Chains A and B, each alone.
Chain A
Amino acid sequence: MINLKTILLAEDDPKDVELTLEALSEYNLANHVKVVRDGVEALEYLRCEGQYKERNKGLPAVLLLDIKMPRINGIEVLEVIRADERLKMLPVVMLTSSREEPDLKKCYALGVNAYVVKPVDFKAFMDAVKNIGIFWALLNEFPKID
């Protein structure tokens, strides 16, 4: 088994989390998924702060980031990541219900790596999430971080 890096999923809606994990489980990626419930928690995880003080250092393979989240929303999280020297190279994929143009623009301006709208159709949704997981967790090469 290939040593897979963690996929960080920032999603507040438990149904979405369940359905996302369901989709990833098809390729056995679900075990590598770490779910955080909001932006604050996501950042704590990335920076190894708070409850994640003790976790193994190292960045996840990709951050799947929902926009609409309590406390700090996805765009704000993205902004912080791209401003953080240690975090800025982290691949971030927006996984959101919003197809609003301003959101899209803003995210790309902040250097998002991909923007995926969650399809209403479940099949389509499953395909999308699976593809993201395979691409970022398995196919994408990432530079070594010192």
Chain B
Amino acid sequence: MKLMKSNIREIIDFKKVDSLLEGFNKSTGFVTAILDLEGNVLSQSGWREICTDFHRINPETSKRCKISDTILAGKMEAGEKHHFYRCLNGLIDVAVPVVINGEHIANLFSGQFFFDEPDRDFFIRQARENGFNEEKYLEALGKVPVVSKEKALNVMDFLLNMTQLISETTFQKLEQLELNKNILESENRFTKAFRSSPAALTITSQKTEKLIEVNETWCRLFGFSVDEAIGKTALDLAITDSITQQTIQDQRKLRGSVKNIELILSNKSGEPLKFLFSSECIELGGEPCEINTMIDITDRMQVEEKFKSVFESANVGKSITKLSGEIYVNQTFCDMLGYSQDELQNKKWQEITPQEEISAVNEQLEPLLKGQKISTRFEKRYICKDGSHIWADVSVSLQPGLRGTQPYFITTILDITQRKQLEKTLQESNEKLSKVLETETVGVMFWDLTTGLMTAANDTFLKMMGYSQKDVEARELTWQKLTPLEYHEISLAEISKFQVTGRVGPYEKEYIRKDGTRKWLIFAGSALEGNTCVEFCVDISDRKKSESALRVERDFSKAVIDSLPGVFYCYDENLKFVRWNKNFETVTGYSPEEIGKMSPLDFFVGAEKELLRERIREVFEIGSSEVEAHFVAKDGTSIPYFFTGVTTKIDGYKHLVGVGFDISDRIQSEKALKESEQKFLTLFEKAPYAVTLSSLPDGLILNANDSFERIFGFSNEETIGKTSLDLGINPDIEDRQRLYIELQKNGFVRNLELELNIKSGEKRLFSINSDLIEIGSEKFFLNTLDDITERKQAEKKQAQTYELLTKLARLVPGVIYQYRLYPDGRSAFPYSSPGMYSIYEVTPEQVMDDATPVFGRLHPDDADRVSRLIFESANTLKEFYCEFRVILPEQGLRWRWSQAHPERMEDGGTLWHGIISDISDRKQVENDLRESERFLRISQQIAHLGSWRLDLETNQVIWTEELYHMYGFDPTLPPPPYTEHMKLFTPASWEKLSASLANTRETGIPYELELETVKEDGNNGWMWVRGEATRDSDGSTIGLWGAAQDITERKRIENTLRESEERFRRAVISAPIPIMIHAEGGHVITINTPWTQLTGYEHSDIPTISDWTRKAYGNQMDFVREEIDHLYTLDGPKEEGEYTITTSSGEQRIWDFSSAVIGQLLDGRRLVISMAMDVTERRIIETERRKFYLLAESSSEFIGMCDLELNPTYVNPAGQQIVGLEDLTAACRVKVQDYFFPEDQSFIEEEFFPRVLREGHGDVEIRLRHFITGEPIWMYYYLFRVHDPKGTIVGWATVSRDITEKKRMLDELEHMNIALEQKVRLRTAQLESSNKELEAFSYSVSHDLRAPLRHINGYVNLLNSQFPKSLPEKARHYLAEVTASVKQMGDLIDDLLQFSRTGRQELRLADMDMNVIIQEVIEVLKTDIADRKISWMIETLPRVRGDYSLLKQVWLNLLDNAVKYSRDKEEAEIEIGFTREADHWVFFVRDNGAGFDMQYAHKLFGVFQRLHSSEKFEGTGIGLANVQQIIHKHGGRVWASAQTDKGATFYFTIPYEIN
């Protein structure tokens, strides 16, 4: 600490010093003054008249005074201890410097006396020259004392000591002020950090569990004021319960601290808040305490919790089943069946399984019992309490029994009744639907494939595509327009296929909606008349969407997992692996099949297996853990790994997910580092010389050892980060350059001697060794600085001693001697300087061989003592020291002082080198001084010092009044005797004091102590004491005296501040979260242990923010650096958010940072505290939870949640779209009831909600209201309760499905069914009646029409046969015509009857060979074609299934026609062939005959329709009608193509399968 010179007046109470000096002047006659270095008089007393009245008044002489003062002061500045000076006016002045704490701040002057009688003539001359009154001037001169130089010196010493005492006392006061200020600043800094931390912090006593400190964040979060909280326990405040408290205690016991556990705590108003809680033990002022950190994660958790709950509440039953059949079940399972736990607990599974399913279940369980399978899954029914059945998806695994108990089954049961019902309904409706209309499930449209135009479409389709009937009517919709370009090819292919097969699809493609968006549709269609078709389509956009979303999600997570640098694993509570990455297989060397069968514990051996088991258990219980262990691969190699684990729920079951990293390198380097660090540390810290480590090239000192601090006086804090230039150690530029150049050249510097400054400003000589070293890639200087000042000085001194000795011998006022004591008792002075004579009045020669003459000179009273001391010194070889008297022939009684150093001689005798001098004058002064002790006492009082004196002979104690006050005694009473003094101090202090007293008594060395005093009122105080010995005239200790000062207050403040500072410093630094304190400009002041543990960086790795950002952020460093720079200008705490940092091992961690400015360094740089939460693991969990969220977000079902007051809290996008709400805010603005129609309200509120409330869940088909259009949306609405993890109901959730379309379809279907049935009934009735008519008709045809024909025929025949001659030729011709007509009529009737019979005839199906039929038919036609030239081309025809006689009729008709119509050709060509199609045969008969005009093709197959005159080609016109009728009966088609005179082809088809 530097004192400012202007402070001197404030430090020293000069008024008191004045009075002290005044008293001294009066008692000794010495005048004194204190002047500062500028020559200002600060204090003065009793100046000589000759000066005050003459010299300092007269301008001439006063000028001389000034000059004299300045010269004298100048001498002081040059460092002399004191200086005598003869002033220009002839008087002697003496000056001593006043040095406080090593700093020369003022000078104490005394003087204005003479050493010898004054030269009167000089002063008379001076009086005349300056016009003084000579008489008065000489009178004043007479008053100037003549003092021996020795006496003057002694006086100066005394004064100096006294001044020093005063100054130092004062200085202590000042120092204390400074210390207080420093501590206050530090306290303030850490208090601020504590108070303004964005995390809630508390300090609690471990013993009482009471809160000692809480910060602002804590108060804000919990709603308590500081006063309310301090001194209470968490239980008193009801922010926690005893169970939670116990959990925390258990954690502490288990791991020593609590790290990031999630807790629910209540605030003042009882609301539960979720916290991330950490706690660390520290010691504060000797008491064990805990620092607790609480980070509010309520908000963050709420959303996640909700989703978790939704999925947890999704009803998974669990049961444990013994082999004997008894079951133990969970609540969900009971809820499913409507039993209470107790009721079910006594049952066997067979009792709740339908009788007919028991054997099926046993079949499923058998492979488990035989060990063929680990688990099985099947669907079965359970019997509910009310007798109804539910369907369940059941997974069963067999667990081995522990310790010889029976194995048991673990079963998970998923209620799929809903699904089953839905499936059933769906199936039923599908059946219904397909029965009636096959493919018309959703959209229907009609196409003209020639033009590609849509000719009609139903509303469903149009709605799907965003078109209206008007668009269809406008005839603008072509398939090309609706189909995206990339699907054109597919569509064309479908169309060409369609033209052959008459069918389309089913195929999937995208369609363009009117608004340009696309929709995925699935198509199927079939042919209508000509080139038109009907197509049916279903919207599959949602399916496509979720398909692709799922695929992306799956690919992504797989990529993430496989690209992990370490191993990834996921296994369930039965320690069965469900997932691992490629790396896991690579590292372990096991195949996926092997891993699938292994337990995670199989990868560890020995004690680590147990450790792993323990950690895994911890993960499943607490949620996360980590461990270092050796990973044992298949080939037996074992690699140290670091494993983490967190729990996550997959399909509702707890799984452990984690990663492992190879830490071999880390462990090895850690070990190497530890060893080298240890070496370095020992070398560095324990070296007796100063060692520093500086950076290159800026020379910043990065480390300095203890010795550095001891030798140079700079604390570590002052040193680190500075250069030697900054510290002023080495201000000489040339020196430094020399050092630097040599280092650069050689890489080291050896034994360079340099003078350096230490903190006090003193210059000291050092031997410097420097080395250029590399740590990592960076270069540093390692410097050792050995203080060789003393050594050098000693060397120098030694050289000088010999030189000086002779000179001194002559100069010293006394004698220098060698004194030898022989073993026989003789003694002599082998050498003595000429001064011998002045001391003993004997010559050196006289005593050279025998010392006896000297002893004759000793004072009789002292002779024995001297002898005794000589022998003592000879025996102990201790310094000889003695003050004694001699009686000399010339000088009489004189005081002598001798000091000598003994050494043992070879002969056993002793040789002393010593000095003896005259101390008569000093002794005189001493006497004088004893007188002045009185004034010393005054001085003590002034300095608020108590003092005491102890007379060792009488053991009497004298106290000054001050001391009484300090100890609290009555000043009028005598002080307590020394023997009772021990009661005044604490035992420890008394021990110190009594030891010091004894020592002082023995050796005369003064002591200075700080002691703890015991006061009567019990409040201990502190006292500064100083003691020294008083000696009598012969130098032996006769008593002790000392001074004491009450420093209780100072100590108290000091202690309080220290404790407070410590408390907050510890609170901040030992907080279990990473903390860094850094200063503006990027200097990292400190980082705490968690920071180092998590990042792997020691403080030395990251001395600056630049180092930190470079290492932790990589190419993000500039950006982060900028962010950090902004922090220094903050005016409150700031939550910076999450950053990804890279640790020294290259691991990426996510830290959530918050920072606050906490004050300034002394140089004005602002300090910032940055705290981080390591949220890496939490992010992993969040990601898992986020999956649930994404699932809900991307689901096509309506997923919604609401609180207990039925306020919606979440509706997923699909849900919002279904009811026409634009976003979540809109969805949450309305009540749940508003989603329903008013007319459904009473059902909802009186029936449905109570049911859900009662049973936990419920479903209903109900309408929701579209918020924009008001249209009803039919929903399959499933509602269930949502629980928090404790089981408290927190709200409701729904997973519902839009069934409007289905509902509409079903309605329509029902409608259509009714219409259809009516139609069918009508048609049946019509058919029945027409059938009857037809029957009657054909009956009468057979009977009534045939009879007259027969008659005509009969009578004509009779005519011809009975009257052959009587009939003229013409009459016979007419009769012939009548006969021909009758025959034709008969044929007509026969054909017609045949046609009508065929129509009513049932098909008699059989497999037949078409080739046989053809042959038979040709045989029939044989007579007709006997004289014809016909070229037959007949393919070998397939076997078909059909009615033999009818098909024969078909071929007969067709071939008959072919033969008939080709008879005009010279050579007829008749071709019979077939083609094979998807589901039917196509047969054809082609001829090259008359053909027909295609414009009459549609009349071809009509009854009695003929295209040729009967004159040209005979026939009834019923044959083809009959063919068509037969083919249609077979489910086929018949058509023809022809060209007039170029022949005709008749086609007919026969399906493979005939219904």
Find out whether the CB atom of A97 lies under 8 angstroms from the CB atom of B1357: no
Find out whether the CB atom of A120 lies under 8 angstroms from the CB atom of B1339: no
Contact for A121 among B1343, B1344, B1353, B1393, CB less than 8 A? B1353
The answer to whether residues A19 and B1354 also contact, given A101-B1397, A120-B1382 and a CB cut-off of 8 A, is: yes
Given the complex, which residues of B lie within 8 Å of A68, measured CB to CB? 1343
CB proximity of B480 to chain A, nearest CB, Å? 56
In the docked arrangement, what's the CA distance between A119 and B1356, Å? 15
Q: How large is the interface on B (under 10, 10 to 19, 20 to 34, 35 or more residues)?
A: 20 to 34
Find out whether the CB atom of B1351 lies under 8 angstroms from the CB atom of A16: yes
Find out whether the CB atom of A98 lies under 8 angstroms from the CB atom of B1342: yes
CB proximity of A52 to chain B, nearest CB, Å? 27
Contact for A118 among B1338, B1339, B1350, CB less than 8 A? B1350
Find out whether the CB atom of B1393 lies under 8 angstroms from the CB atom of A99: yes
In the docked arrangement, what's the CA distance between A26 and B1386, Å? 26
Contact for B1349 among A100, A101, A120, A126, CB less than 8 A? A120
Find out whether the CB atom of A122 lies under 8 angstroms from the CB atom of B1357: yes
Given the complex, which residues of B lie within 8 Å of A123, measured CB to CB? 1357
A15 part of interface (Cβ distance < 8 Å) = yes
In the docked arrangement, what's the CA distance between A108 and B1355, Å? 32
Among residues of A, the one whose C-beta sits closest to the C-beta of B1394 is A99
Q: Per-position contact with B for A1-41: 1 when CB-CB < 8 Å, else 0?
A: 00000000000010110010010000000000000000000
Q: Per-position contact with A for B168-204: 1 when CB-CB < 8 Å, else 0?
A: 0000000000000000000000000000000000000
A125 part of interface (Cβ distance < 8 Å) = yes
Number of interface residues of A (CB under 8 A): 21
The answer to whether residues A122 and B1393 also contact, given A97-B1346, A98-B1343, A100-B1338 and a CB cut-off of 8 A, is: no
In the docked arrangement, what's the CA distance between A67 and B1383, Å? 24
In the docked arrangement, what's the CA distance between A123 and B1382, Å? 13
The answer to whether residues A100 and B1353 also contact, given A16-B1347, A22-B1358, A120-B1386 and a CB cut-off of 8 A, is: no
Contact for B1346 among A19, A120, A126, CB less than 8 A? A120
Among residues of A, the one whose C-beta sits closest to the C-beta of B1353 is A122
Contact for B1354 among A96, A97, A101, A122, CB less than 8 A? A122
In the docked arrangement, what's the CA distance between A95 and B1347, Å? 12
Given the complex, which residues of A lie within 8 Å of B1338, measured CB to CB? 100
CB proximity of B1179 to chain A, nearest CB, Å? 88
Given the complex, which residues of A lie within 8 Å of B1349, measured CB to CB? 120
In the docked arrangement, what's the CA distance between A122 and B1356, Å? 9
Find out whether the CB atom of A15 lies under 8 angstroms from the CB atom of B1351: yes
Contact for A99 among B1342, B1344, B1382, CB less than 8 A? B1342
In the docked arrangement, what's the CA distance between A68 and B1339, Å? 10
In the docked arrangement, what's the CA distance between A68 and B1343, Å? 8
Among residues of B, the one whose C-beta sits closest to the C-beta of A13 is B1347
Find out whether the CB atom of B1353 lies under 8 angstroms from the CB atom of A97: no
Which of A97, A100, A120, A126 has the most chain B CB within a 10 Å cutoff?
A120
Given the complex, which residues of B lie within 8 Å of A118, measured CB to CB? 1346-1347, 1350
Find out whether the CB atom of B1393 lies under 8 angstroms from the CB atom of A97: no
List residues 1328-1356 of chain B with CB under 8 A from any CB of chain A: 1338-1339, 1342-1344, 1346-1347, 1349-1351, 1353-1356
Q: Per-position contact with A for B973-1015: 1 when CB-CB < 8 Å, else 0?
A: 0000000000000000000000000000000000000000000
CB proximity of A120 to chain B, nearest CB, Å? 4
Given the complex, which residues of A lie within 8 Å of B1354, measured CB to CB? 15, 19, 22, 122, 125
Find out whether the CB atom of A122 lies under 8 angstroms from the CB atom of B1342: no
In the docked arrangement, what's the CA distance between A67 and B1343, Å? 9
CB proximity of A12 to chain B, nearest CB, Å? 11
List residues 80-125 of chain A with CB under 8 A from any CB of chain B: 96-101, 118-123, 125
Find out whether the CB atom of B1342 lies under 8 angstroms from the CB atom of A97: yes
In the docked arrangement, what's the CA distance between A27 and B1383, Å? 27
Find out whether the CB atom of B1350 lies under 8 angstroms from the CB atom of A100: no
CB proximity of A47 to chain B, nearest CB, Å? 27
Q: Per-position contact with A for B382-396: 1 when CB-CB < 8 Å, else 0?
A: 000000000000000
In the docked arrangement, what's the CA distance between A19 and B1356, Å? 11
List residues 41-81 of chain A with CB under 8 A from any CB of chain B: 67-68
Among residues of A, the one whose C-beta sits closest to the C-beta of B1389 is A120
In the docked arrangement, what's the CA distance between A121 and B1350, Å? 6
CB proximity of A70 to chain B, nearest CB, Å? 13
Among residues of A, the one whose C-beta sits closest to the C-beta of B1362 is A22
In the docked arrangement, what's the CA distance between A103 and B535, Å? 49
CB proximity of B1392 to chain A, nearest CB, Å? 12
Among residues of A, the one whose C-beta sits closest to the C-beta of B1348 is A15
Given the complex, which residues of B lie within 8 Å of A15, measured CB to CB? 1347, 1351, 1354
Given the complex, which residues of A lie within 8 Å of B1344, measured CB to CB? 97
List residues 1384-1430 of chain B with CB under 8 A from any CB of chain A: 1386, 1393, 1397
In the docked arrangement, what's the CA distance between A16 and B1328, Å? 34
In the docked arrangement, what's the CA distance between A30 and B1351, Å? 19
In the docked arrangement, what's the CA distance between A16 and B1397, Å? 26
CB proximity of A130 to chain B, nearest CB, Å? 14
Given the complex, which residues of B lie within 8 Å of A119, measured CB to CB? 1350
Given the complex, which residues of A lie within 8 Å of B1343, measured CB to CB? 67-68, 96-98
In the docked arrangement, what's the CA distance between A98 and B1335, Å? 12
Find out whether the CB atom of A100 lies under 8 angstroms from the CB atom of B1339: yes
CB proximity of B574 to chain A, nearest CB, Å? 76
List residues 948-981 of chain B with CB under 8 A from any CB of chain A: none
List residues 1064-1089 of chain B with CB under 8 A from any CB of chain A: none
List residues 477-504 of chain B with CB under 8 A from any CB of chain A: none
Among residues of B, the one whose C-beta sits closest to the C-beta of A99 is B1342
In the docked arrangement, what's the CA distance between A99 and B1391, Å? 13
In the docked arrangement, what's the CA distance between A118 and B1344, Å? 12
Which of A96, A98, A125, A126 has the most chain B CB within a 10 Å cutoff?
A98
Given the complex, which residues of B lie within 8 Å of A101, measured CB to CB? 1397
Find out whether the CB atom of A97 lies under 8 angstroms from the CB atom of B1347: yes
Given the complex, which residues of B lie within 8 Å of A126, measured CB to CB? 1357
Given the complex, which residues of B lie within 8 Å of A122, measured CB to CB? 1350, 1353-1354, 1356-1358
In the docked arrangement, what's the CA distance between A121 and B1383, Å? 8
In the docked arrangement, what's the CA distance between A122 and B1383, Å? 11
Given the complex, which residues of A lie within 8 Å of B1347, measured CB to CB? 13, 15-16, 97, 118
In the docked arrangement, what's the CA distance between A16 and B1347, Å? 8
Given the complex, which residues of B lie within 8 Å of A125, measured CB to CB? 1350, 1353-1354
Which of B1338, B1350, B1358, B1393 has the most chain A CB within a 10 Å cutoff?
B1350
Among residues of B, the one whose C-beta sits closest to the C-beta of A119 is B1350
Find out whether the CB atom of B1393 lies under 8 angstroms from the CB atom of A19: no
In the docked arrangement, what's the CA distance between A95 and B879, Å? 179
Q: Per-position contact with A for B1353-1392: 1 when CB-CB < 8 Å, else 0?
A: 1111110000000000000000000000011001000000
In the docked arrangement, what's the CA distance between A83 and B1357, Å? 40
In the docked arrangement, what's the CA distance between A139 and B1354, Å? 27
Contact for A120 among B1353, B1355, B1358, B1397, CB less than 8 A? B1353
In the docked arrangement, what's the CA distance between A100 and B1357, Å? 27
Among residues of A, the one whose C-beta sits closest to the C-beta of B1338 is A100
In the docked arrangement, what's the CA distance between A13 and B1347, Å? 9
In the docked arrangement, what's the CA distance between A99 and B1389, Å? 12
In the docked arrangement, what's the CA distance between A93 and B69, Å? 183
Q: Per-position contact with A for B1477-1514: 1 when CB-CB < 8 Å, else 0?
A: 00000000000000000000000000000000000000
CB proximity of B1141 to chain A, nearest CB, Å? 99
Further 16 A-B residue pairs, CB within 8 A, beyond A19-B1354, A100-B1342, A121-B1353 = A22-B1354, A22-B1358, A68-B1343, A97-B1347, A98-B1343, A99-B1342, A100-B1338, A101-B1397, A118-B1346, A118-B1350, A120-B1346, A120-B1382, A122-B1358, A125-B1350, A125-B1353, A126-B1357
- What are 24 A-B contacts with C-beta separation under 8 Å? A13-B1347, A15-B1351, A16-B1347, A19-B1351, A19-B1355, A19-B1358, A22-B1354, A99-B1342, A99-B1393, A100-B1339, A100-B1342, A118-B1350, A119-B1350, A120-B1346, A120-B1349, A120-B1350, A120-B1383, A120-B1386, A121-B1353, A122-B1357, A123-B1357, A125-B1350, A125-B1353, A126-B1357
7 smallest CB-CB distances across A and B, nearest first, come from: A122-B1357, A120-B1386, A122-B1354, A19-B1354, A97-B1343, A122-B1353, A97-B1346
